[in-house]
Structure 1
């Protein structure tokens, strides 16, 4: 059949019809149905291209076809392993980047929380309580006035003082940090 296939593509189709199903089953067991279609068609494409190299002393073409399919499956598995390795590395880099972003955000949040806590501690107790009732208890001005038994105008003035203290203190600390960073940058040696 191989000898006749060299002269007639129709005979090669007989070879395909006779062996395609077993090649497909073999490939499907090794690589799954999705890859089996490609491996089967590629096996017969390679066989067609290498018809001249086939040893005509061999009576059965199946070992030759399975050899081609095995080589294609090896190539498929290497390509798949390389792709999975690349995907794993990319995912790892993304996870590390996500982790470093998350850690940086946590550090920033911790620093900001510390600045806010210091500012709240330095505030007059009555202003701090008013601010916390507004921010944490989510009370309206009227609700705070009822809770503290003071007029709404008093709540407004206490919140105004508390906000101003926060703004002033936080801006000063941020400016101090920026100046320290600039000082460190200016003191750092420059590479040419």
Structure 2
């Protein structure tokens, strides 16, 4: 499709029709729907102008998601606000008259706040890798293509990002594990 569009630019519309929803959904999960339209449109504009540079496989999705990710890096502040805004909109939709649910919401608010901060503190490469896997639904190879990095780097980044998010969810558990270096500290059973 992409190669054909070099001679027949109208053929690029087929690529747009096939992948626009995926790009929009990925951007909407990261930035919210209002910005997702802009990112999706700009992604296809960049892809169209750079279609001669496409060297990927038959699946253009990783290439397009890579372009979208690069565009979203410029929206880093907006992304951090979206995480906080997502929490606020979730709380606004809940029924605060239910006492039991209020405790759960407070716990969720604390957890979402810690996760939002942890995501914002992740290095851009780790965050992009995690969100391409989670929101973009790409496998390791797809992320490798999208970010032009080796698969081993994808694995390292995902592992590091997951570890940091786990620590944000349960800091006490993470500290214990670090102090024990993952070893079981229970005394060995005595031989009687």
Whether the TM-score (by the shorter chain) exceeds 0.5 is no
TM-score by length of 1: 0.40
Tell which has more relative contact order, 1 or 2 (C-alpha 8 A, sep 6+). Answer: 2
**TM-score in terms of structure 2 length:** 0.40
The structure where helix makes up a greater share of residues is: 1
Higher-Rg structure is 1
